[in-house]
Amino acid sequence: MRSLPEITINAFQLAVLLDEAEKHFYNFVMENLVFCAQCRDIANEGVEVVEVCLTELNDVRVRGRCRKCHNEVIRLFAFGGNEKFYAKASRLRESIKLNLMEA
């Protein structure tokens, strides 16, 4: 399989990619299951999302900051293994590529 470039996506693009179950899972994890190395605990005051990327495997990587201590936190969602999600992510990549070529 050819390696895909990592791309940054915005909140709207992420919302288009995720189905209802994936959105629920994403929101639950971001609110309850992101570990902060500085706090040595779950970022229980939440995470400020700084960047969302599609990785070379069409997984979603979220980089943010712990709202309590402002330390960088990262969470990987391995959605790329799901064929339906992978196909949607590939179509999004193509549309982004086309939009960049037109600009």
- How does pLDDT run across 67-90, given as a tens digit for each residue? 999 999 999 999 999 999 999 999
**Can you tell me the distance from the alpha carbon of 57 to that of 60, in angstroms, rounded to the nearest whole number?**
9
* β-pair type (35-36, 41-42): antiparallel
Cβ pair 80, 58 in contact under 8 A: yes
How far, CA to CA in Å, does 79 sit from each of 9, 24, 27, 70, 99?
A: 15, 13, 14, 27, 24
Which pLDDT belongs to residue 98? 65
Phi, psi for 17 (deg, rounded to 5): -70, -40
Closest to 10 (Cα-Cα) out of 72, 94, 96, 76: 96
pTM of this structure: 0.88
- Per-chain mean pLDDT for the chain: 92
